[in-house]
Each structure stands twice: as structure tokens, then as C-alpha cells.
Chain A
């Protein structure tokens, strides 16, 4: 059998507290290429691994602007440029009547950008991921919390890292084959 490459080393914890604590220590210990997994959002955890995303709001803003502008100018182009005709004695550019659609288009685009943007930035969808190779990782979506140090981390050294993780007294430790 071919020897499997190591993707990283994973430690399992069973309370939010312990994982947050562990993550913080790991980060202080200088590990940078790390990640943590939890069955529900824990703000402290992201801070612990020093992750502060600002990209999503930006994407949404862009989406909103695109939607709004296209919304209004679609109507303007149709009624003033492409197909100008007298409707009920109203002027061609009856902008007050165009507000509603403009608004709806803004929301629509912003919303779609928010969702797709978030997924894209998270690199989803991704049906396969090495962490799934760890049998116990199935509990990450139930009641267990995991901390992983990727083998790509400069400080990563199998024996040393394992010893460090044991120091955080986790429930279990597993090597993650890639």
C-alpha cells in the first residue's frame, strides 16, 4: 500500500470552552495554519485563531449597487430610449414610478451576492475534504469540537506537534491523511 501523505493533526474536544481555550493557546504557540470546527457558530473561536473576515459585506455592497443601477437604467432605457410611447399622458421618464423596481432589484442582487459570495469565499461547495477521513469527525456536526494544525504550517513537525496538542489535554488526537 502506498504511504499516505499527512494533511494535518487533529485534536478533539467536547466543550466550547475547551476548544476556544485550546485554539487560543495554539495560536499563541505560534501556529498559524490552523483551523477549528464546531457544530454551531462560536464567535470567540474565530477570534482565537485570529480570523476577522471583512470580505462578505464588500461583496454585498457591490451587488446592491449593480442591482440598483441596472434596475433603474433598465426602465429608463426601455421607456425613454428603446420604446418611447405616451402612456396615460405620463412623461417618458416617470422616475417616481420606477423606484419600486429599482429597490427590488437592489435587494435581489445584494441578496444573491451575499449567498454566492459567502459560499465562494468559503470555497464551497467542496464535497471532499481530508478532514472527513477522520472517522470521529462525523461528530463535528453534532456535539464535538475539533482543532487542526495543517502539515503545511512552517512550525509543523509530527512528533513535536502531537506532543503540543496532548498538552492541551483533548479527548483524542488523530492524524489526518490527505
Chain B
């Protein structure tokens, strides 16, 4: 009876349990359950009969397999894991070593006043320089480092969301041996012996597998280790790597080089499948800024962007001319373009279908010699990169819009090859001591390597994993050392232009994690060296002359090291070794891409990123297969249908999403989902595409078989309808767009629907008499749809995530959303991005209908939301034509998890169940600056006050300020003719207005 209950209850917590229970499954159960359930499931588990049975058995089922031999204590540890953190909120401490605050803020801590520290976030070796806001030494918000050339104040979504990564309760919190809790000391003892043995063998059995490294210190450490153990090998692997880029450079110049673009000098840009405006592309933050700068129709500087792409992307959406083309055909296009630019290449295989497009692009390039640029996408084969280099050379762009430097990465070897070699050694039993520093190869290695299998079944005596999570790889290693988050540990890194930054920690490690530096120094024989000593030590050796302390201090303060940017090289193009193009194989093409939100899977447990709508499909929590409308029709597929993909005999099931503008006879799948051990947010979400990813052609290949299984799978998209053309054939003026000459002909085109001032029976409120009247202008021309503002807003305003099911019900909480609209032909539509925060209407429809006055207007024109007064009628939301209001239908905020308490912005109240919430124009920031300015007896100056979205925007698309001040930047923008109010005909008089989108199409192609 009781047994029955226990069982059934537990089964709903973790379905598919047999009545036998072993610890792996037990842990799986806990991993699956989220939030408050987390505790409950533990109790149920403890109460369930099987659990007792398991406890009483001397050796739990599968004790022989080491992965299950977790002792009672180990399990209790699991139970206690995050409970142990209760009260941790009280005892955050500053790192022991002196870290240097950013001077814009007072030197000493004033409670309630944040400090800012410069540091850098690194993704696949490329740094995003950031300033971190710290409240009493609790880092709470990431901002761009405005002084740094790679940021200029902007950030990317991954850097923004990394703050949640720091406080992720599912992070690995202890060192473990075979799943048991161990100490650092235990670990030292455990590897001392084997290391000594290796000394004798010159380290023949040592293998070190790192993720992509750009840290000078780490590289230095590795090299010294390789000196110490000449036979040891250092392998580098990340599933999203730049092998093709370097190989292409090799092909063109005979050496791997970094290519850096200067887009603010480019009048014509041709992208060969390069998504250079989306987060994850090295230098994206800077490129977005430069690109936007170059597209200002009012200043006459208006570049033209041609994009040839194999899957719809933000870059394609911004293109003046976009050509959807299967990835395999793009090389053909590149060859023709090269020939057009006067480069001799053998053209074979697939002829391009571009025709007019190619001609137009080619001509434009010719007309803009020296001020044009051709960019090749990372996943295009080396030949395409080589051709791009050749074309840029031929057009004389090198030195003007294109620069070459030494690689930013410390190790530019072919990563796939490197991993292959490692697996080979493992299988041949050459490996005795394997260190996996970061990364998660057991999950993300190419399918045909069978890395996980090799790790499990080849008897490597000692396997050590250093990582932020107890992930799929940790599971297969003897030792797991919990890694320190970059906000907890010292380090250094390089930005896309090579500029080095010291990574200074904001907080002492929450779980006494170790950094890669500390682990490696152990191999080098200095077990006690701290990260601080190691990093500082390295830079001491680099620093010549001058007093080191001031140099160090300055570098920490600025967030970057003077004069470390890599110098442009003059390198000659050797005659192109681009052989004949391999004849294209037949069949449907499959593209493997990094996920726009969770990258290669490392951010799978980051709720903010999971719930961040992908730029083009607005999909959350999943990675459906993208197929073109035509193809879907042919194969009789609907959205949410489940298909089985088969590639080289490997199979995976996934749901389908029909993506307007996707090339036909080709599909796109995104990596990073289907994690088995990610944490409560990431585990089990989506489909694991690594299972079919081939090592030979990791990015795209022909010949995937698609079979409809007949099943369906729920998908959660945040946007109900993605066209501004309604089903009845009408079109709505939501996004005002025009071509450059249309704009010149009729500058006021966007304003047609605006009613004249004072078109109301009521006398309006006079805002002119107020010192401030806050307003915002969003330049649709600049917005590149990178989603950065959404994450920044979420972080600044303590916005909850709600999970897939609630999203699919339409209850996501984002205060700021970026609408993506398609227009015209579904096979190659125009796409528009439109960030939509609260409009702060002067005649706010929401305020009028609130029965309790919970939303009212401030004298400065803010549409204030009084959470404490809200009773939750939702009338305001119904009456909001912009639907920017968000409602706490259930208790969405996590009030229990201690880590989140540390993370939240103390200046913003945390909303509970049953109240409405919405964008406040970051009123907490306004107040802060008002207080300051009043204390200093002055007015708030233009630009000193930025909203979170504005501050994080890499493209400067969002401008906020005082519209009562005619000289403020926002007033100037609103004065422009292309400025218009959304749904202005309703006479809501929105304070947030938009600058219409202007395209610069090539007349030849328009006709």
C-alpha cells in the first residue's frame, strides 16, 4: 500500500523507473526535478521502498561499474548539496589578493553603492572585455568595457548571461573521486605517484586535452610542462572551432593568420555564409558597432550588404540582398566571384545559380575597390576562405578594410585532427594519465570518434577532469576537479584583435574551485602556486622596464594591457592552392551550426540563454530541425512533426520547424542540446545532434535521410505570428521600412499615420515644465537582432525564467523582446528586427483601466508599475496595444535557491505571484543618477544615464535620454524624419519611438 504510493509518486517525478533503483537513476531523478520539487523528490526518494532496499544492499546494483559505486555518504552529499549552501548568502568574501576597482566608482565600498571591476569573459579563446557590477563584492551584472576596442561598451549574450553561470546551483561543488567527495589534498596525493612514474618516461603517457586556449599564461604553462615531459602531448578540441579559417589562411598565405575586418570603412560587404553580426563570431560586438555606424542614411554613409547564406541568420536579415544557397554551393559562388574579380581559379563541380546576384555583387565590389570586404563563414571549407583572401587582395582591401595578424589562439592546430590523434593513442593504450581541462568531449566529440566509448572502455589508469559541471565527461573520469568560474579565478585572455586582458576575480570561489592555471601548475610541480601568483608571474616575465606594480594596477583597472594588440602583418598571397572543387555529392544537405543561444552546449544549463528566443525562429528551450517551406510541403511535414535523421548510419530523432528563407533541399540542425548531464535546466532539453556529426565534414554534408516518424513534439516559440501581413491579406505598418531612394523621395514616409498633437477631448499633461522627460529612440536600421538587450534587461531587472511549458502557453516574462517579422516571399523573405520595450505612452491605455491605480504616470513621463498595489486584474495587459506587460501567473521567481539571492540586483524588487510587471526604463538607474546629480546640485547630463538595454547594445541602436533637452542625443534622433511611433494612430503618444529601417538595395537587382 504505502509502497505503492511511494512508487507511483516517485514515478511521476522521474518517469520510466523500474522498481529496481540504482544510484545513477536516483541521481538522474534529482537532476530532472527542478526548483521546489527538487527537495520534495528527495524526500519521496528517501521514503520509497526501493530506496531503502538499495541502501540495505551491501553493494548497490552495479557497484562493479565504477560510475555507480557511490557510497551512502556520496548519496547523502548529493542530498545535502545545495542545502549546504543555505546561509551562504551571508558570507561572501572578497578574494584575498588585491583586485582593483574601476575608478568611475568610489574607491571604498559604500553599502548600496555598486563597484565596477574590469575583467574579461572568454568564449572559445576570444575575450569579451567586460565591467562587472559588484554589490558588496557580489557580482550582479555584466557590462561592456567602453574603453576596450573590442567592446566599446557593448557585450554579447554569452558574456551577459555568464553571471547566471556563476550562481548556477547545479555547478560542480566538490572534488570527487569515482563520485565520492574528496579534498584537494587527496587529489594531490593521488596524482603525485603517477606523475613521478611519468617523469621517468619523459611523460610519454601524459595527455592534456584543453579547450581552445588564448591565455598567454596558460600557453606558457603548457609549453613549460611539455618541456618538463618532452613525450607528453597537448591536444586542443572544441566542437565549434576555427579549423577552416586557419586552414584557409594556410592555403592562401602558407601560414595561419587571424583576419580582422574594419567594417566602418566598408561600403560594400559580401558575406559568404558568414554570420558576423551574431554572438559567437569573434569580434561580433565590435563588428556590429562598425556595421551600424556605416549604415546611417541621414549622414549619407550607407553601406550595402550582400549575404549568401545556407541558413537564415541575423546577418542575412540585415542584408540588402540575401541569397539563400545550400552551403555546398557557396564554394562555387566564391569561385565565380573570384573569377569576376580577376583571379584565376579552376571552376568545376557545382556551377552557382546566382546569376544576376553574382554580377551585381561583383560589380559593386569592383566599384568599391579598397572600401569593400568579402567575409567567409567559419564553417565554409578552407578553399572559400582562401578565395575570400584572394578577392580582398585583388580589390586592394587589405590594409584598408581587412587586416591580417598572427593567430589570437595559442594553438592554431587543426582541432579535429588533434582530437583524432588523441583518441587513436587512447585506443592503442598509449595514454596512462589523461587531463581533460575544461570542455566536454565525451558529449561533443564527433560521432565517429567514439570518444566517450574510448574513455570508458580503454583502460586509461588515471583520468582527470576539470570542469564547471559534473557533466558527461566528468562521469567517465576517475577524478573530477570542480573548476572555478572566470569571475572567481585569476587568468588572462585575448580579444579578437589580440589585445590581452587580465581576468580578475570578483569573488572568492563559491565552492573552492580550481582554475586551469592552478591544475596545470601542479603538473609543472608547483602544487601550491595560486592563480594570482601564476598569472602575475607570467606577466612579470613579459613586462620590460617601468615599475611593474603600476603596470599591473593599470592593466587591472583598464581591463586590458597596453600595446598587446597584435600588429597587422604584411603578407603576400602565394599562388592559390585551391584545387578543383570536389564534385558535389547528391542528396539532401545537412548543416551543423552552433546554437544561437547555448553555443555548443556549454550553456545548456543557463536558463536565461535557454529561454532566449533564437533570433530567426523565436524558438526557446529546443533545437528543432530547420527546413524550407517548399521542402516541408514536399515531404508533408508540419511544425512539431518528429523526423528521424540518418547520416552515415547514425540516427537521431528531432522535431521539425519550418523556417522561411531556408534554402531548399537542405536542413539545418543546431548543436548543444540533448544533454544528458547538464543540470535541472539543460538536461533532456532538445536533441543531441553530435550523435550524427561526422568528423570529416563537421559543418555540412550531403546525403542525410529524413524519415517522418509520425510523432509530434511540443515546441515553444515566443512569437505567435511572424509576418506583418495578416492572414486576410492586409499588411500592418508595424515596421516602417523603405529603400534609400524612397526615403530621399519621401522622407516622412514613416509618419503617415501619426495624428496631430492634442487630438483629444482632454487637455493633456504638460511635461514641458518638468526638468526631465524620459524617452527612447530605437534605430531599426542599426538593430542587428543579437538579443543582447533581452539578456541585459533580464539580468538588470531580476526577471524570472518560466520554463518551456509556460513559454508555450505564452507566459514568458521578458520585459524587452525583439520581434522578428518576415515580409514577402516565404522562400526568400525580407526580415525585420524590432526591439519592443514598454512604450511609456503619455496617454497610457493601461493606466486608465487599472482599478486600483497600480500603474500610474510619473511627472517625468514614466509609466510606473506599483507592484505592491497590483491586485492582478490583467486589464492593463489586455488594453496594452503593444502587449509589453508580463504577468506572474504562477510563482515564477525562485525564492529558495540561495545562489540566486546573491545574484539578484538589490535595486530592483523581486516580483512574486499574481502581479503585473513590465519595463520601467530602468527606473532604479534613473533614481540613482537623480540622487547623485541633486547631491552635486546639477542636472543629469546626457549620456551619463543609460538603460541596461542601451548600455549592452553593441550596435548603439537604443538611445535613452531626456527629451526636454533639445540637445540630448535622443531628442536629436527623435527629430529625424524617419522617426515614428508604433501604432501612433491610436494616439497613445508613445515615449519610445523608432527610426524607420532604410535599405540600400542595388538598383540593378531591384528591377
Contacts and interface: CB of A to CB of B under 8 A. Distances in A.
Determine whether A and B are in direct contact in the complex, meaning some CB atoms lie less than 8 angstroms apart: yes
Interface of A: 83, 85-91, 94
21 contacts: A83-B853, A85-B857, A86-B765, A86-B856, A86-B857, A86-B858, A86-B859, A87-B847, A87-B848, A87-B850, A87-B856, A88-B844, A88-B846, A88-B847, A88-B848, A89-B842, A89-B843, A89-B844, A89-B857, A90-B848, A94-B762
A85 B866 CA distance: 13
A90 B849 CA distance: 12
Nearest to A85: B856
A83 to B, nearest CB: 8
A86 B853 CA distance: 10
Given A90-B762, A91-B762, A91-B763, A85 B843 contact: no
Interface residues on B, range: 20 to 34
Contact of B845 (A85, A86, A88): A88
Nearest to A94: B762
Contacts of B857: 85-89
B764 interface: yes
B989 interface: yes
A86 B763 CA distance: 12
Contacts of A86: 765, 856-859
A93 to B, nearest CB: 10
B275 to A, nearest CB: 43
A87 B853 contact: yes
Contacts of B842: 89
Contacts of B841: 88
A88 B875 CA distance: 14
A83 B764 CA distance: 19
A78 to B, nearest CB: 10
Contacts of A89: 760, 762, 764-765, 842-844, 857, 989
Contacts of B764: 89
Contacts of A87: 847-848, 850, 853, 856-857
A79 to B, nearest CB: 9
Contacts of B859: 86
Nearest to B879: A88
A85 B762 contact: no
Question: Which of A85, A87, A89, A90 lies at the interface centre, i.e. has the most chain B CB atoms within 10 A of its CB?
Answer: A89
A115 to B, nearest CB: 29
A50 B832 CA distance: 86
Question: Which of A85, A90, A94 lies at the interface centre, i.e. has the most chain B CB atoms within 10 A of its CB?
Answer: A90
Interface in B824-862: 841-848, 850, 853, 856-859
B580 to A, nearest CB: 70
Contacts of B850: 87
Interface in B740-790: 760, 762-765
Nearest to A87: B847
A103 to B, nearest CB: 18
Contacts of B853: 83, 85, 87
Contacts of B765: 86, 89
Given A85-B853, A87-B853, A87-B857, 13 more contacts: A85-B856, A85-B857, A86-B765, A86-B856, A86-B857, A86-B858, A87-B850, A88-B844, A88-B848, A89-B762, A89-B764, A89-B842, A91-B762
A45 B853 CA distance: 57
B758 to A, nearest CB: 11
Contacts of A88: 841, 843-848, 857
Contacts of A94: 762
A88 B762 CA distance: 11
A17 to B, nearest CB: 58
A19 to B, nearest CB: 56
A88 B849 CA distance: 9
Nearest to A79: B853
A76 to B, nearest CB: 16
Nearest to A78: B853
A91 B762 CA distance: 7
Interface string B782-805: 000000000000000000000000
A86 B864 CA distance: 11
Nearest to B848: A88
A95 B843 CA distance: 17
Nearest to B761: A96
A86 B769 CA distance: 14
A87 B844 CA distance: 8
Contacts of B762: 89-91, 94
Contacts of A91: 762-763
A83 B852 CA distance: 12
Nearest to A96: B761
B269 to A, nearest CB: 45
Nearest to A92: B765
Across chains A and B, which 4 residue pairs bring their CB atoms closest together, nearest first?
Answer: A88-B847, A88-B848, A86-B857, A89-B843
A102 B745 CA distance: 55
B853 to A, nearest CB: 7
A91 B766 CA distance: 11
Interface in B644-661: none
A87 B845 CA distance: 9
A89 B840 CA distance: 11
A97 to B, nearest CB: 9
A90 B761 CA distance: 10
A94 B848 CA distance: 11
A90 B850 CA distance: 13
A13 to B, nearest CB: 59
Contacts of B846: 88
Contacts of B844: 88-89
Nearest to B764: A89
Question: Which of B760, B845, B846, B856 lies at the interface centre, i.e. has the most chain A CB atoms within 10 A of its CB?
Answer: B856
A79 B847 CA distance: 14
Contacts of A85: 853, 856-857
Contacts of B847: 87-88
A90 B845 CA distance: 10
Contacts of B845: 88
A5 B440 CA distance: 108
A83 B856 CA distance: 12
B757 to A, nearest CB: 12
B686 to A, nearest CB: 43
B766 to A, nearest CB: 10
A90 B765 CA distance: 7
A161 B762 CA distance: 75
B775 to A, nearest CB: 15
A50 B45 CA distance: 88
Question: Which of A85, A87, A88 lies at the interface centre, i.e. has the most chain B CB atoms within 10 A of its CB?
Answer: A88
Interface string B972-1007: 000000000000000001000000000000000000
B157 to A, nearest CB: 35
Nearest to B858: A86
A154 B754 CA distance: 86
A91 B844 CA distance: 13
A80 to B, nearest CB: 14
Nearest to B989: A89
A23 B476 CA distance: 110
A52 B108 CA distance: 89
Nearest to A97: B848
Contacts of A90: 762, 848
Contacts of B848: 87-88, 90
